[in-house]
Chains A and B, each alone.
Chain A
Amino acid sequence: MSSTITSNTNDVGTLPKLATVWLDGCSGCHMSLLDMDHRLLTLLEKVNLVYSPLVDQKHFPDDVDITLVEGAISSEADLEKILMVRERTKILVSLGDCAVTANVPSLRNPLGVNAILERVSDGALPKQPDTVPLLCAHARPVHTVVKVDLFVPGCPPSADTIHLVLTELLAGRTPDLHAITRFGL
């Protein structure tokens, strides 16, 4: 891990900044994050959750210490967002199989975008509409687009796994996850 995160005070302003991002995924990883239950409260004493689908913040701030990414890169919007997130994040974590392997979103990959559009629209949409972000040719794992610092496979990774990931990263250590999570799970 390239950087360590140090902060011991309870002043929110000086706490390490945590962000979570939801790209092409089912939000199950975020649900699993919430499954930490009461541990969330102690965790939130140690980090400042600056950006997340769970909080009302529209702007992804600069200098985020840890970002958990859920979901694959499937559209131009995902692509733009992950590039921005990577630029503003010290430790980027691929959280869950969609971010790590592209998982369920990747099921469309062998078929190609056009075949998918035709099928879902019953032939009414031979081309991509310009009202929604363009789909990329493939739904891709995050690390094929930007550098990823830690991989947390699992569909979803358990609350315990996510808790371990965060507490270890906050303590400046790289968690050893192979015994507790894996693809699929």
Chain B
Amino acid sequence: MMIDRKINQQISSPEELANVAAEQLAWQAQYQHRVFVCMGTACQSVQSGAVLTALQAEIKSKARENECLVSPGGCQGNCASAPLVSVPEQDLLYQKVQLSDAEEIIEALAGKPVGRLLCDNKSDFFTMQNRVVTNHRGLLNPESIEDYIAAGGFSALLKALTDFTPEAVVQELQKSGLRGRGGAGYPTGLKWSTVAKTRAEQRYVICNADEGDPGAFMNRSVLEDYPFRVLEGMAIAAYAVGASKGYVYVRAEYPLAVERVTKAIRNAEKHGLLGNKIGSMSFDFQVEIRLGAGAFVCGEETALISSIEGGKGLPCPRPPYPAESGLWGMPTLINNVETFANVVPIISGGAEKYATIGTPTSKGTKTFALSGSIMNTGLVEVPLGTSLRKMIFDIGGGVPDGHKFKAVQTGGPAGGCIPEEHLDATIDYETLMELGSFMGSGGMIVMDDSSCMVDVAKFFMQFCAAESCGKCVPCRVGTAHMHDMLDRITKGEGTMEELGQLESLCDVVKFTSLCGLGQGAPNPVLSTLRFFKGEYLAHIVGHTCPAGVCAPVGQDIRRPTCAL
């Protein structure tokens, strides 16, 4: 049985690429039926690998290998319904598939779908998304460069190399209005042009895949599903800024992403799409992978660079920015996974088309990881400017189990909690900032009336205190103090005086910390104080926890005092 077609040739021109794509499409077309089993981390965690094997075995046992092809696929987004199996020609999505379902699914390929497994793929969750970065919607074997090429992969790179000067690529990026997807939203084209303008013998391109925000898994998913696209985006960036060496810095906690990126680099090199003389041009771009050892602060660009250099992951004061003096003191372009993944559609579809999506200042789409108290936990991609209400209640399906929506937390530990009265706010860099939150990399944690907002603030502060690198005093000591104060409040030991002290510490830590970790650490406290001050007062003055987290509702949260 041939479940994968492997090519061996070097690809050195757009024509050769088109030929490879055509051959692969023809090979795919000989199969009457195609089935994709999601092999993302969420689906694999509920045995989608075994489902894949079972389906393939079923085909073999029915001797239908020549008409059916079951391939590993990517993430469909609705991870809550894992494992997921899609049948594209019938436009079907099966959810919560068991090994015992294999026979029925294969039998149903030409006929009536297996009703009890059907996932409503016409629901708002699917129809209201706009998938640009995740446009293959899981119908692509993430490990097959042939499939990626057949789906148009690497044509943007070869187009850039043959039709664009490096300056033109930068201009195209600037025209697209793309902003950094790591969180801060710095204009990508501007960053590229800064690096490109430096005078240096060597420049570097780094892909920041050290996603570490609690509740965030967008980058993981994009890396797992689209490793080639991220590498293609990096190569285009390298061409634009004049870099010949790149690094993907990915956290070791993402073993599947590490495996796929590592394989993808090797595969792309084998076919001349990375490495020396890409596309037979005088453009060299070597990519290496570097694993993060688990420090959250290594997502901060200067700390990440220090980590790649082999040093301790400690941030450095900026300026100088990495664009000027980064890896080994050389100009370095560092962008997030999703930023690089956006480059490909910009180059292949054109900046103008890309810029039609989104708002005037926040262009394009953004992936979000929906989690917490929400029906459709999973990965979604929406145009920037989508309202939070649409995101949570239409796409996300609302809050389950009869609970009432309370707040949505965006932006990770540097973000904030947005309450119900602001649900009509749009998701864009500026609006979220005005609400005391932050775009961040795209984590979105929905909380219902069973969440205590003081406890939530304490959770994030504990995270920041544990992840503080310890280099600067306000973050090292301030986060520890703020955590202790929040802890005392949740135990009914807080005082109004201490609450004032907490607020003033927020101010000090926010404005004096060295890097974004410390500067953002007070945000969850500030935003919960802004929108849920009543809950703080209930703990401090009334010694009760309205959500029933710190003690059952109505009960005193103070512990019985002991003599010592």
Contacts and interface: CB of A to CB of B under 8 A. Distances in A.
A137 B563 CA distance: 10
A136 B563 CA distance: 9
Nearest to B563: A134
A113 interface: yes
Nearest to A128: B564
Contacts of A135: 564
A24 to B, nearest CB: 16
Chain B interface mostly: loop
Nearest to B564: A137
B189 to A, nearest CB: 53
Interface string A105-123: 0000000010000000000
Nearest to A112: B564
Contacts of A128: 564
Contacts of A113: 564
Interface in B216-232: none
Interface in A120-134: 128, 134
Contacts of B563: 134
Interface string A133-154: 0111100000000000000000
Contacts of B564: 113, 128, 134-137
Contacts of A134: 563-564
Interface string A68-93: 00000000000000000000000000
Contacts of A137: 564
B420 to A, nearest CB: 39
A128 B564 CA distance: 10
Interface string B40-56: 00000000000000000
A134 B564 CA distance: 9
Interface in B514-564: 563-564
Contacts of A136: 564
A134 B563 CA distance: 9
Nearest to A135: B564
B414 to A, nearest CB: 32
Nearest to A114: B564
Nearest to A147: B497
A135 B564 CA distance: 8
A128 B563 CA distance: 11
A59 B171 CA distance: 85
Nearest to A137: B564
A136 B561 CA distance: 13
A79 to B, nearest CB: 12
Interface in B129-143: none
B267 to A, nearest CB: 57
Interface in B476-529: none
A95 B344 CA distance: 70
Interface in A132-185: 134-137
A176 to B, nearest CB: 24
A113 B564 CA distance: 9
A40 B564 CA distance: 41
Nearest to A113: B564
Nearest to A127: B564
B355 to A, nearest CB: 58
A31 B440 CA distance: 60
A146 to B, nearest CB: 12
A132 to B, nearest CB: 14
A102 to B, nearest CB: 17
A136 B562 CA distance: 11
A65 to B, nearest CB: 25
A103 B257 CA distance: 54
A11 to B, nearest CB: 40
B97 to A, nearest CB: 57
A137 B564 CA distance: 6
A114 to B, nearest CB: 9
A110 to B, nearest CB: 15
Nearest to B497: A147
B559 to A, nearest CB: 15
A101 B176 CA distance: 59
A137 B561 CA distance: 13
B127 to A, nearest CB: 60
A26 B564 CA distance: 24
Interface in A21-63: none
A135 B563 CA distance: 10
B480 to A, nearest CB: 15
Interface string B287-299: 0000000000000
B491 to A, nearest CB: 16
B452 to A, nearest CB: 27
A7 B411 CA distance: 62
B540 to A, nearest CB: 18
Interface in B68-97: none
Nearest to A76: B563
A136 to B, nearest CB: 7
A118 B500 CA distance: 39
A136 B564 CA distance: 6
B164 to A, nearest CB: 64
B562 to A, nearest CB: 10
A113 B15 CA distance: 80
A129 to B, nearest CB: 13
Interface string B430-445: 0000000000000000
B501 to A, nearest CB: 12
B252 to A, nearest CB: 35
7 contacts: A113-B564, A128-B564, A134-B563, A134-B564, A135-B564, A136-B564, A137-B564
Interface of A: 113, 128, 134-137
Among all A-B residue pairs, the 6 with the closest Cβ atoms:
A137-B564, A113-B564, A134-B563, A134-B564, A136-B564, A128-B564
Interface of B: 563-564
